[in-house]
A and B are shown apart, each in its own frame.
Chain A
Amino acid sequence: MLEIRNLHASAGEKPILRGISLSVNAGEVHAVMGPNGSGKSTLAQVLAGHPAYEVTAGEVYYEGENLLEMDPEVRAQKGLFMAFQYPVEIPGVSNAYFLRSAYNELRKARGEEEVDPLDFLEIMERKLEVVHMSDDMLQRSVNTGFSGGEKKRNEILQMAVLDPKLAILDETDSGLDIDALRIVAEGVNAMRRSDNATIVVTHYQRLLNYIVPDFVHVLANGRIVKSGGKELAFELEAKGYDWVSEPAKA
């Protein structure tokens, strides 16, 4: 589904990703872990197409197509979704309107008919249950005045509505209490299927108790320094990141 080869990316002049290679197949959950500044969030943002990062070398193929040539909206329309670490507040645009616009854009891209507000409301009612949210949040402006936990749950709600093939969760666990963490994880698990895949970017092993990965990759200094099964996460939790990090280059 996703094939990353020797990916290099920088923010301005500063190189952050320095040769990432990673394959993700349908049905798999990959965890990308690493200390602060290792580049794990940058990897998520580059895959989503954030304009602040420039890819300087390497290739990314998504379902056989060159992902890096696609605009962010095209990536989304083709089934890629990133749950933001810091979801953006959009005062004045209601959650319902925003979600319906996004949902219909995806349908249009697939050559399907748009759904009207009433039909969409029905779809939403079911999805809201997944993340334990009440429907009054639909009329609130996107993320505006939401608590940290509400914002993260809203990300998972969007993911549930848009039903991506490849979901990337960028530190979705940060700032969540244990109850919210459980709700978010249950939401993600409910969406796991053999025809989709998830990349979980996280600093802590905690989330992986709930979303159990098939593979764990450790990033340091913009490279994957170690890959393994889910037991690698426990090892990291016990020993810390120094154990796997290669020394920074001078």
Chain B
Amino acid sequence: MATTTSTYREQFKSFARSVAKDSPDWLNTLRQCAVDRFEAVGFPTTKNEDWHFTSVAPIAEAAYPPRVEPGANTRPADLAPFTFGATDWPTIVLVNGVFSAELSSLEALPHGVRIYPLASAWRANDPFVERYLSRFADYELNAFTALNSAFIHDGAVVQIAKEFEVERPIHVLYVFDPIAAKTQINPRTLIAAERQSKATVIESYVSTGEASYFTNAVTEVLLEDGANLSHIKIQRESPRALHVGTIEVEQKRDSHYQSFSFATGATLSRTNVYTTLDGDGAGATLNGLYMLDGEQHGDHQTKIEHAQPNCFSRELYKGVLDGASHGVFNGKVYVHPIAQKTDGKQTNNVLLLSERAQVDTKPQLEIFADDVKCTHGATVGRIDQNALFYMKSRGVNRDLARRLLTYAFAAEVLETIEVDAVRERLERAALERFTGVDAGLGVG
């Protein structure tokens, strides 16, 4: 690992030289502290409890250099598969990590909404960015956040002004095309829902090609008092991509954060969804669906910190694993001594479609208050043979029957997505997920 961190040190020097003079001092300091931290801790190994089931050796070994310069080969038509058929959603598009004004639709934004690229914000020393950047995502504890923070360049900033309800979903679309091959991209997203506001933000990581690259994304989210934010993360990276994405959320009094993580892409992926319920009466709903096949490895870690009393958290994650894929789910719930009347429920259900697929699921409850209600449950199952026979006996062939049963399993959690266009497209994606070469393997 020592070689890797020193490689990054060299890369950081040249990166810092290229951006230092345009950057405000606070940002140069942040980058420097973060790279120092990354150099000190290095990439996690499987001895680290948080990374026990996921080896990031492929990321360390690839050591792709961070990419900050523009360069893209993406046309508007290439985005069609990723925009849910919507034409009037405010959309900020970043190709290979860099803002594309041409592909974005940021004209006529709804009242109370600001969306802008991060790089132009820090160049203009935007006070909002100075105030909030790196306030919620902790680079001291997370090496990947340190790496992202060291190479902070472009990304997206979304602000919902107080008391505004935004009807149309806002789409933050990170696209990676073949030009991203063999590079590392560190997208940074900052979302703030001010008090009593309500909005839906979709954050997509998608690819138009099959290149191998490394996405190391960090998203920071603030929900002020009474804010209601639905945040849907879509990870449909290239099949050869490496993806680590960390979402860190801070929630104030009576806010409700609804997260959905949909992950089907990348050869190796890790998604972290961390939220701190830092105000009385706040609630978090964290749902997700991961569908993997072939040699894919997909890991989700969620962490809910109940830091104040009377908060609730609900969590439903479902996984469908085919081929020789490996799924990991680790759900942490931490209840502080002060957080009385905490109400927490966590469920992880996994459907194994093949004998070779593998899952590790680990709930982790640490409760330091005495008047709380916290439950967790996990199931790992296979296709119901009675249901399969029933469908076959009606003339439905085995592959279609398997797909329908898989879809039915996934639909229970997809149903929680409130945006019709997104839910319908993801349901179709779920229905069509296992029609490839691996579809014939497994139970029978």
Q: Could you tell me which A residues sit within 8 Å of B by CB distance?
A: 48-51, 71-73, 75-77, 81-82, 84, 87-93, 97-98, 101-102, 105-106, 109, 141, 158, 162
Chain A residues, CB < 8 A from B386? 88
Given contacts A51-B385, A101-B400, contact A92 B393 (CB under 8 A): no
Known interface pairs A88-B386, A88-B387, A105-B400; A76-B405 also in contact (CB < 8 Å): no
For chain B, residues 357 to 394, give those with C-beta under 8 angstroms from any C-beta of chain A: 384-387, 389-394
Closest to A159 in B: B394
Within 8 A of A (CB), among B310-332: none
**Among the listed A48, A89, A102, which residue makes an inter-chain contact with B396, where contact means beta carbons less than 8 Å apart?**
A102
Residues of A within 8 A of B401 (CB): 73
Answer whether residue B395 sits at the interface, using C-beta atoms and an 8 A cutoff: yes
Interchain Cβ contacts under 8 Å between A and B, 20 examples: A49-B389, A49-B392, A51-B385, A72-B393, A73-B392, A73-B393, A73-B394, A73-B397, A73-B398, A73-B401, A84-B390, A88-B384, A88-B390, A90-B387, A90-B404, A90-B405, A92-B408, A92-B411, A98-B391, A98-B396
For residue B197, give the distance in angstroms from its CB to the closest CB of chain A. Answer: 34
Known contacts A98-B404, A105-B397, A105-B400; A91/B412 CB under 8 A: yes
Find out whether the CB atom of A90 lies under 8 angstroms from the CB atom of B390.
yes
Given that A92-B408, A93-B405, A101-B404 are contacting pairs, would A82 and B395 also be in contact in the complex, using a CB cutoff of 8 Å? no
A92 / chain B contacts, CB cutoff of 8 Å: 407-409, 411-412
Name the A residues within 8 Å of B405 (CB-CB): 90, 93
Contact yes or no, B394 A98, CB < 8 A: yes
Interchain CB contact under 8 A, A162 and B407: no
B408:A76 contact, CB within 8 angstroms:
no
Q: How far is the CB of A153 from chain B (nearest CB, A)?
A: 16
CB distance from A237 to the nearest CB of B (A): 31
Residues of B within 8 A of A97 (CB): 404
Contact check, A71 vs B392: say whether CB atoms are below 8 A apart.
yes
Q: Determine the chain A residues whose CB is within 8 A of the CB of B397 once the complex forms.
A: 73, 105
Interface residues of B (CB under 8 A from A): 384-387, 389-398, 400-401, 404-405, 407-409, 411-412
**Cα-based distance from A91 to B405 in the complex (angstroms):** 9
Q: Chain B residues near A72 (CB, 8 Å)?
A: 389, 392-393
Chain A residues with CB under 8 A of B400: 101, 105
The chain B residue sitting closest to A78, CB to CB, is B395
**Tally of contacts, chain A with chain B, CB under 8 A:** 78
Across the interface, B404 reaches (CB within 8 A) one of A71, A84, A93, A106, namely A93
The CA of A89 and the CA of B396, in the complex, are separated in Å by 16
By beta carbon, the residue of chain B nearest A141 is: B408
B392 touches A93 (CB 8 A): no
B389 to A50, Cβ gap below 8 A? yes
Say yes or no: A102 contacts B390, CB within 8 Å: no
Residues in B neighbouring A109, C-beta threshold 8 A: 395
Do B395 and A102 touch across chains, with their CB atoms under 8 A apart? Answer: yes
Which residues from B are CB-within-8-Å of A102? 391, 394-396
B interface, by DSSP: helix, strand, loop or mixed?
A: helix
| Bound-complex Cα distance A162 to B384 (A) | 23
Please name all residues of chain B whose beta carbon is closer than 8 Å to the beta carbon of A105 when the two chains form the complex.
Answer: 394-397, 400
In angstroms, how far is the closest chain B Cβ from the Cβ of A247?
Answer: 34
Distance in angstroms from A165 CB to nearest chain B CB is 13
User: Nearest chain A CB to B31's CB is how many angstroms away?
Assistant: 48
A82 to B391, CA, bound (A): 11
* Given A51-B385, A105-B400, A106-B395, A93 contacting B390 (CB threshold 8 A): no
Are B396's CB and A101's CB within 8 A?
Answer: yes
- The complex places the Cα of A106 from the Cα of B407 at a distance, in Å, of 22
A212–B401 CA distance with the chains assembled, in angstroms: 35
In the bound complex, how far is the Cα of B390 from the Cα of A236, in angstroms? Answer: 32
Query: Measured between alpha carbons, how far is A112 from B397 in the docked complex, in Å?
Result: 16
CA distance A81 to B395 in the complex (A): 9
Across chains A and B, which 3 residue pairs bring their CB atoms closest together, nearest first? A92-B408, A76-B395, A102-B394
Chain B residue at minimum C-beta to C-beta distance from A93: B408
Question: CA separation between A51 and B400, bound complex, in Å?
Answer: 18
Docked CA distance A90–B406 (Å)? 11
The chain B residue sitting closest to A77, CB to CB, is: B395
Query: Complex: how many Å from CA A89 to CA B401?
Result: 14
Smallest beta-carbon distance A107→chain B, Å: 9
Q: Which of B385, B393, B395, B407 contacts A93 (CB 8 A)?
A: B407
With both beta carbons as reference points, the residue of chain A lying nearest to B409 in the complex is identified as A92
Q: Which residues of chain B have C-beta atoms less than 8 A from A75's C-beta?
A: 393
Residues from chain A with a CB closer than 8 A to the CB of B412 are 91-92
B396 partner residues in chain A, CB cutoff 8 A: 73, 98, 101-102, 105
Q: Which of B386, B392, B393, B409 has the most CB of A within 10 A?
A: B393
Q: A73-B401, A88-B389 are in contact. List 14 more A-B contacts (CB 8 A).
A: A48-B393, A51-B389, A73-B396, A76-B393, A81-B393, A88-B387, A89-B387, A92-B409, A93-B408, A98-B396, A101-B396, A105-B397, A105-B400, A162-B395
Distance between Cα atoms of A76 and B394 in the complex (Å): 6
Report how far A162 CA is from B404 CA in the complex, Å: 19
Residues of B contacting A98 with CB < 8 Å?
391, 394, 396, 404
A93–B396 CA distance with the chains assembled, in angstroms:
13
Do A91 and B392 touch across chains, with their CB atoms under 8 A apart?
Answer: no
